Structure formats: C-alpha cells, structure tokens
A = this chain, B = another copy of it.
Amino acid sequence: MAITIGDVARVAGVSRSTASYALSGKRTISESVRTRVLRAVDELGYTPNAGARALATSQTRVIGLLAQFLPDEFAPAMMQYILGVSNTARELGYDILLVTEADGTNALSRLTDSGMVDGVVLLNVAEDDDRLPILRDCGKPGSLVGLPADVDGVDVFDLDFEEAGRVMVEHLVNLGHRELILISQPEHVVERGGAYVWRLQNAAVEAAAFAGIEIHTYFGAAGQPQIAQQLGEILDAHPMATGLLLNNEAVAAALPSTLHARHLEAPRDYSVIGRYSSEFARTFSLPFSHVESAPDLLGRMAVRQLVRRIEGRTRPGEPHVVRFVAPDLVDLGSTGAPPPSLVAPSSPEGLDTP
C-alpha cells in the first residue's frame, strides 16, 4: 500500500539496512549511497511507518497529555496549557495524544501499558492525585503541572502560589489598603484537591496578619448567575474593604459588569488584582492588574524536562525537580491608593500619622 523502506532501498539500489542507516545516520555511509537513498526518499515520498518503528525501537515520539476537565473548573484556561505543551512538543519532534476523559487513571494505564506514548504530562494535578500511583509504576517518565503532596518520582512544575498570595497582599498594603477581600476558586475545586487554592490563600492570610490588616476570604460560587449575586453580597458585607484579590477566573470575568452596575470603578473605588494569564486578560478584555499564571511557560517547562528524561539526557541519577515559576505582577493600572473616604479609622482626619 504505502511506500516502505524496501521500496526506497530498491530504487536506491541498496539493502534495506543501508537505507535505514543512511536515514538515521547511525553509521557512516558513503556520500554516493547517501545521496541515492535521499533521492529515492524524495522521489517516492517515503515516510517511515510509525507503528513499525515503535515496535522496533520501543519509542513512539508521542507524549500523552492528560487534561482533567472537572465540573466547575474553568475550561478556557486549560486551552493555554494545552497549547504550551503541544507547541513545545512539536518543536522537539513529538506529537501529542490528548486525553480528556473524566477517568484519568484509566486513560493513563491505557496509554502507557499499550506503549502508545514515551511519557506523559499531567495537567491540573490534585494534592492527592489518583493518577500518580499509576504513573509511578508504569515505568515511563511524567511531568506534572500542579503540585501534589507526594512528588516522588515525577518532575513538577507550578506557579509559586504562596509567593503569588504574598505579592497580591503586599502590593495593596504598600498602597495603603487596610481591608481586603480574597475570592478563590469554588469550594468543589478545593475539595477535589486543588491545593493551589489553599497555598495562595494561606500565604495571603499570613501576609495580611503580618501587615496587621484585615482580609476576608471566600470561595467563589460555581457558575452564573450565582457568581454575580455572590459578588454583590460579598461587597455589601464589607463596606470598608478597598482591595479585591481574585484567584478565580470566572469571578474575574464577571467583575467588570458587577462594578459597573454599582457605579464602581477600579482603582477609584476598589483596587483589584487577579491571578490569571495575560493572554486570558487580553482575550476577555479584563482591565485588572494580575499575577501572571504563565500557563504557556509551565507547559513548555514540563515538556522540555519530560523530553530530556525520555531521551536519556538527564545525568545518571539526576533527581526529580519541583520547580516553581515566580509570579509576575502585570500592572494594568487597576490598583491605587484606597478612596480617602474609606481610610482606616485610625486616621479619620487625614495626615495625622506620626
């Protein structure tokens, strides 16, 4: 049916093994033979059969990408991780087998046991992720995006959510804010092991305590119209709060309408900082300063390390890594000093600080 290396060999007038070596470069080939083989390949339009090659070499040049789409989680954000992984893989000569089924454990076994992939990237890794035990004893390398409790045997990449929480709080503290609100992902996300929610929140609470200011923390509602309603209630509940921190894309997307509806503006009435990617902000016209979540970079890092392991370019005994991306605060001008009418009661008259 299709062209095989036998056809190439025949046309070039050499043996199949010589044709193979001429293409792989795994042994020295006379210039004349090499050009004859290459010409034959061109002429016939030869492409090696992937299955046959995989069978012979136990290498597929395919990476499994396990994207977990959980209810209430934010699907559009996932696209950026997938693109980072996919594009990087291609640059390095790999293709991507994408799995989106709910049962990630099943999918992982299938891909690795059947030898369809050389390694896997797990997205959206939970604190106590079901997929990890399977990954650990499948014998293939794996890179994670997201930090699990047990990082043994895998390479891990994630945003430094602790630092993100601190950066968000400190930025507003430095501007003079004394009462903040932090809205995180929906509680379901936390229950399913989305540890990044706690990591950011705990660090934020600690930073607030250290600065001696108040912070109110909430889990965002899941879906509309609950989000808009909840947002209103939260604002009403804390009339003296002047800073809004959002670790929740869906709430960030809903915030502009809510603010406008109440004739509020950032940074005039509220200073706002989100945690999402700039790409996301641009796409949805979100005008808020934000901590860059770097999905593209995380995808790239995960794939690069995975490919190093697959190709044995890690030093012998090289330990696995846990690498955090430093949060970058992208200033879009949505933060400033708190409104004078709402300055802390400790200085009601204005400039009477020592």
Task: Show the binding face of A for B, using Cβ within 8 Å.
Answer: 1-2, 45, 47-55, 58, 60, 62, 65, 69, 74-76, 78-80, 82-83, 86-87, 90, 95-101, 109-111, 113-116, 139, 223-225, 227-228, 250, 253-254, 256-257, 260-261, 279, 282-285, 287
A50 touches which one: B100, B114, B261 (CB < 8 A)? B114
Nearest 3 pairs between A and B by C-beta?
A260-B260, A51-B54, A47-B113
- Extra 19 A-B pairs, beta carbons < 8 Å, given A51-B60, A95-B97, A95-B99: A2-B115, A47-B113, A50-B114, A51-B55, A69-B83, A79-B79, A82-B82, A86-B99, A86-B100, A86-B101, A87-B101, A96-B98, A96-B99, A96-B100, A97-B98, A227-B285, A250-B283, A253-B253, A256-B260
A282 neighbours in B (Cβ, 8 Å): 223-224
A47 neighbours in B (Cβ, 8 Å): 109-110, 113-114
A65 neighbours in B (Cβ, 8 Å): 98
Query: Smallest CB-CB separation from A223: which chain B residue?
Result: B282
Q: Roughly how many angstroms separate A253 CA and B228 CA in the complex, as a whole number?
A: 16
A52 neighbours in B (Cβ, 8 Å): 51, 55
Q: B95 to A116, Cβ gap below 8 A? A: yes
A279 neighbours in B (Cβ, 8 Å): 75
Q: B86 to A98, Cβ gap below 8 A? A: yes
Number of identical monomers bound together in the oligomeric complex? 2
Q: Roughly how many angstroms separate A116 CA and B97 CA in the complex, as a whole number?
A: 11
Query: Smallest CB-CB separation from A84: which chain B residue?
Result: B100
A55 touches which one: B55, B79, B224, B257 (CB < 8 A)? B55
Q: B50 to A283, Cβ gap below 8 A? A: no
Q: B86 to A49, Cβ gap below 8 A? A: no
Query: Smallest CB-CB separation from A284: which chain B residue?
Result: B253
Query: Smallest CB-CB separation from A69: which chain B residue?
Result: B83
Q: Roughly how many angstroms separate A9 CA and B257 CA in the complex, as a whole number?
A: 65
Q: B83 to A253, Cβ gap below 8 A? A: no
Q: A75 to B283, Cβ gap below 8 A? A: yes
A-B pairs with beta carbons under 8 Å apart, 14 shown:
A1-B139, A48-B114, A50-B51, A62-B97, A75-B83, A78-B79, A82-B98, A83-B100, A86-B99, A87-B100, A90-B100, A95-B99, A95-B110, A260-B261
Query: Smallest CB-CB separation from A90: which chain B residue?
Result: B101
Q: A253 to B51, Cβ gap below 8 A? A: no
